Every structure is written in C-alpha cells, then in structure tokens.
Structure 1
Amino acid sequence: MQLLAGLERLLARVGKRVLHVEQGVGVVTVEVSSTVRAAPCTVCRRWSDRVHGGFVRYLAERPVLDQRLVLAVEMRRFKCSDVGCARRTFAESITSLAGRHQRRTHSQSRALQALGHALGGEAAARLAAALGLCTSADTVLRQLRRTDIRRRRYKPRIVGIDDWAIARGHNYGTIIVDLERREPIEVLVGREASAVTQWLRRNPSIEIVARDRAGAYSEAVNIALPHAQQVSDRWHLLSNLRDNVERMLQRMGSQMREAARRVVVTEPTHGRQGRREGPRLAWWQRLSDDRRSIRLALYDSVTKLHTQGRTMKSIAGELDISYQTVRKFVHTGSFPERARKARGHTPLDAHLQYIEERIAQGSRNPLMIWREVRQRGYSGSRASVKACVVRLLFPQGKPALVDSEPTARTMPCPSARRAFGWLVGWRKLAVEEPKNANHERFVQALCDIEPVVAQVRSLSRQFLGIMHRRRPSEFDRWLTQLSRCEAPEMKSFARSLQADLPAVRAAFQLSWSNGQTEGHVNRLKFLKRQMYGRGSVELLRLRVLRPT
C-alpha cells in the first residue's frame, strides 16, 4: 500500500492516477488514466482543451519484489487552437516522469546510468539482469552518454595536473583535479602543451597549479596563466634525487664491488637468516626431526594418560587423534619409529657400496668422493653425492667436511637502489631487512674509495631534512652547495632545479602537492582496465567525471 501511495504521488505531478493493478507471471502492470483537461502546444505554447484522441504509452519502472513493473499510461492528444500553428495536434507532456520517446521512466534511467558509471557496459548489463532490469550493454552505454555533465557553478582556484597512459609508449592523456574539492574536473586527450593551454585559458580563475617535473605542463601554465603559482610535487623531487644518485652509483660499479669485498659479514645481510649453532642440517633432516618430535610428544602424552587409568577412547577424544593411533601407541612397548621411505633407482646406486666403504675408511669429503666416483664412471652431479654422504653420516652424528671453507664471508655487491637506501638512510626498503652494521661499513668503505660519495651522502641527507621541515632559506644554501658538487649527476640535478626554481621553492612553502592527482590517476587506470582497453576515451571521461 505504501508503494502504491508513493506511485500515486509521482503520477499526480503529471496529471495521472492509478486505475488498476494487474499481476501477471513475473510482471506487474499498473494501468494509469489521465486527468488532464488541457495542455499547451509544443510549438506555439498556446493552451488547448480540444481533445483529438488518445493512446497508451508503456513505461518500464524499477522492479518490485523481483517482479518487473510496467506503467500503462493513458496519453491524450489535443488539437491546437491556433490556426496559424504548424502543428495541428500534439500530445500532453510527461517530461517529469519520462523523456520523449522513452520506454523507461527517469528512475530506471538513473539506475542504469549508475550501473554504467560503476561497471561499464557488459558488466552493468549482467548485474542489471540479476536485479530485474531487462537491458543490454548498448542500452547502458547510451544511457551513460546521455548523462549530463553539469557545468560547474564554482570556479576552480587550485588544481593538479598529471598525465596518464592511453597506450603506454604511444598515446597519453591529461587529467585535471580540483584539489580543494578533491574531484576530477577534466580529462583531456594528449599531454602536449597546446591541449592544456586551451583548457587553462577557459579557466582564468586558477591561482595555483600543482604538477610534476614535466616541462610541457609548465610551459602551458606560463602561456595561459602567467600569474598562476606553480608548485612542483615533493615526491617527484625526492624521486629525481634518488634517480641521480642511483645513476652515480651505477657508474661506480667497480668501486662498489671493491667496497663490498672490504666488508666482512658478521651477521646476515639480506633477509631473515637464523644464526648457525653447530653443524647445519639439510632441509629433509630438519623436516624429519620436526615431525619426529611432534609424534614423540604425542606418544608421551598418550602413555602418560594411559598410566593414569584413562581409557583409550577418552584419550583419543581429549588429544583429538584417532582411536587406532592411541591403540598403536599403547600396545607398542616403545616409540614406534617410522619406516624409511624406499627410494627409486638412481645413477648413484651402482657406486653406493664404494661410497659406504670410503666413509667406513674415514673419508668425509663429498668433493673428493665425487671425483673418485667420476673416475669410476659416474656422470651425475656433485650435489647428489654430497646429499648421499650427508645421509650416510647423519646416523653417526658426523658432519661432512669441505675442502676449503672460507674463514671470512664478504658482502655481496648490492644494487644501486639498495645502496642508495643505505647511503642516505632511506628506511623501509624492505620490511624484512633491518638496518645493521654491515650496511654502514659498506657505506664507509665506499666513501673511503670515492670521497665524492661522502659529499653526495651529506647533500642527500640535508635535502631530506629540508623537505621534511619545509625551510626555503635552507634550500637556497643547499642548492648552492649542490651546484658545487663534483659528481656530474648532482650538477645536472642542480641545473634542473634552477630551471624550475619558483615551482620548487613553492613546494617548500605551500602545502599543496600532486598526491590527490596521483590517486585519481590510479582510479582512472582501474576504470580503463575494467573496460579491457576497448572503451573509448569519451566513455572513460564520462565514468571519471561522474556528476555528483
């Protein structure tokens, strides 16, 4: 009844009333009669009450209780009372309920548009069918293209500009975000200065533009809005610093390898590695020992409970094991060891007796035994011989020997990116890699070999501190020191900062950055991939600039 009352209020706005409700198989049809006595002409706008005839218009509404809802609306046609009017007859207007020539109400159209904005064409059509909205992917896209991207009533003041890839390496676009309202306001095709310049000229109210270090956007702002304040993105400044330092480290490959050789590793350098205590076991030995210890603890619990007078059934229920396992543990006088798994035939089986004899003679060197069996015709790997020797020595409690085990282990040469993190103290490169003394010793050795590295390290740390504290005065002194650095990569970085000096200084003074824009670029990429790269840029723009 409430649903019917709401429908009657909606129909009363266009001069209609509910006459009859007919329920069919999966469809509810509501017959609606007209109460309009007069209507204005659609051409001359002159009112007329001369009824010419009528017809029935069927409109699809949102489904109700998993049933389609169809409105059979009676429409009246009137004769125009103006003899000079070009239109002789016209139908009454119900634009507040449905558009001209439409077979669905505005309510269902808005639902299809919302599905199209969220999912696109095919996915929206599949979801609409599950919700009871009979439609196709093409219809969803047509409804989406009819969406009115309302003209902004406000004038943007602070915007962020960034590029995005239509096809990486070939075509690019530009997205513009209102940083105050935190919403995208335009999506352009191309990232050239000409395309952005035309849009900026149509929006002279812009006062601040946050951008990356790309020169095209800077040129567009200088041409269209010379009075606007440009702000260079702080993350891109740090990224430029890292790129230049990494290029310097890549150029010093031989020096980095020499510095790594000078560092004697006293603890694990990469990843989580446990310290050795005694001879290290093979993986199959550690796994076998762990499983045996679990079974032994279970066996001890069963025997302890059984000596206390507990029944085997109650023991099985308490320990959550099978009754057969409890009975086997109770009836055996000692811990039942598992039988060794039978191995298949291997090329080493023909030489197994010889290996056992050599071990009995006291030889425990896998490399020496491998060379001997090679002379006897063995063509397998040295690792197989070593695993065999370790397996035969394991019951005796003796470890295998190595010919020349190094007394000191040196650090492997790190990559340029990892070395940059050690150099400037850029933490959180990897969660599993804590800072340790080996990293600092490597940096000190590299600074001793190349003194310019120490200078670059000091400048990089100063830049991180200035960026964190936002002190423009300290930045000017730091830029002077950077331009005097002996490393050519840092001199190039200093020249790029001086060429964009007003925008770089603004990054230390203002709180605006391109972080919001990068987030909207991420959302744009998600929508583009959701359309499998087949949708047009026009459709992508409609989905990105969804009206609120």
Structure 2
Amino acid sequence: MRHQSDLAVISRDHGGEYASAAREGASQAIQCADRFHIVKNLTEAIQVLLARCQAEILAEKKQRASGSDEQKTPVISIEEWRPPEPAYVEKVRLARRAGRYAHYQQVVESRQQGMKPQAIAQQLGQSVRTMQRWLAAGTFPETKKRRKRQSSFDVFAPYVLKRWQEGERNGLALWREIKAQGYTGTANGVYRHLETLKQAEVRASINPERIQKYSVNTAIWLFMRDPQKLDEIEREDLVAFCQASAPL
C-alpha cells in the first residue's frame, strides 16, 4: 500500500481491516467514524435512554397519583411556566376585574329585585347571553387565563427545572448552560422565569397516554429526525417526552 502523507483525517466504518489499512497507509491521519455510523451509534444510545426514561416517567406518574401530601406552595405545570406578570399588567387586569365584579353585583341585585335578564342586559349594556350565563353560574365568573405563548425557552425548561432542583440558583450560569445547547434567548429571559420558581413549584405534567402510544422503536424517530420535518402532532409528542424527562 502506498503511503498517503497528505491525509489529515480518515472517515471509516468500524471494520478492523479499515482501521489497519488507515494506520498503515496514513499513520499521521486522525481516524473517525463515518456519518452513517455516528448516527447509528447515536440512535442506539437514545433507544437505551428512551427505554429507561419511559419506565421512570410512568413510575413517577403512578407515585404522584397515589400520594396524598398537602401542597401549600402553588403548583404550576411546566407547560404553563412563564415569567411573573409585570406590575403594570397586573394593575390593568385587576382594574378590569373590579369593573366586571361591580357589574356582576348589579346583575345579582337586579335579579333579586325581580328584573328579567333582558332588562338587566339593556340597563348595563351587556348581552342577554352574558347575563344568563352569569346568573346560571351562581358565582362571579373569573376570566380564563390567556393561553401561554410558545417561547424559545420552552424546550429548555425541563433542563433548567432539573438544575434548579439540583440547587443551581445562578441565572447567568443557567443561561450559559442552555445557550451552549442552542438557546437563543437572553439571560434576562432566564432570570424572569427563575422569579416564578421563587414563588411557586413547577412540575412536569405527564401525559401517559401520549407517551404510552409509542414504543421505543417508534419514539426514537421523534428525536432523530429534523424537528422541522415533524408534523404538528409529532412535535407535540416530542415536547411531551421532553417535558416529562430532563435527560430526554
């Protein structure tokens, strides 16, 4: 075999013959696995991890279901984990609530005086359907909290939560760790999410039905394929796995 002195790197499979030939023909070159075998090795490693994590996820779900501990600290799901509401937003929200509550009190008092919903609605400038709904509820109807918008932090939330539970409280350090993993947000965004952890407990809400429908051999492709090529349901399933398990 002719010596190849100009080669710096040799990409090869795992065959011993290829390794021997590379050492003999280009001893100065660095040998590395080819692309196919790197992906193959990664796939096999994730399959092992998936099998372990799926078992842990379901076991934790059963343990939580059987537990009866009283929770004094507010608990929110990791899907709803968001920064605390800014003071000016809270002020506006509470002002609007006060106005709605005053209207509700008028509705109740008018009804007790014998007024019909149509007359009450006309008096307060509200729709009849709203009046009927308020009266049927029997209590002041709180507005539903707005659905949380997706953010670049969400995919890294399980990791940050895990590090927080391990005792890491340095926001800058956590930002640097997830930035190295691909996080594109600012350090301030991480700080704001950590403020929520000081006020409430964040837990990964587990959807066992969503996870159980996958075998290890099918779930692996959620992790190995380009996320942009997953359909909407597959992306939601991938998020469900990641939210339930920080290692995943």
TM above 0.5: no
Higher relative helix content: 2
Tell me which structure has the larger Cα radius of gyration: 1
Larger RCO (CA within 8 A; separation ≥ 6)? 2
- Name the TM-score class by shorter chain: 0.3 to 0.5
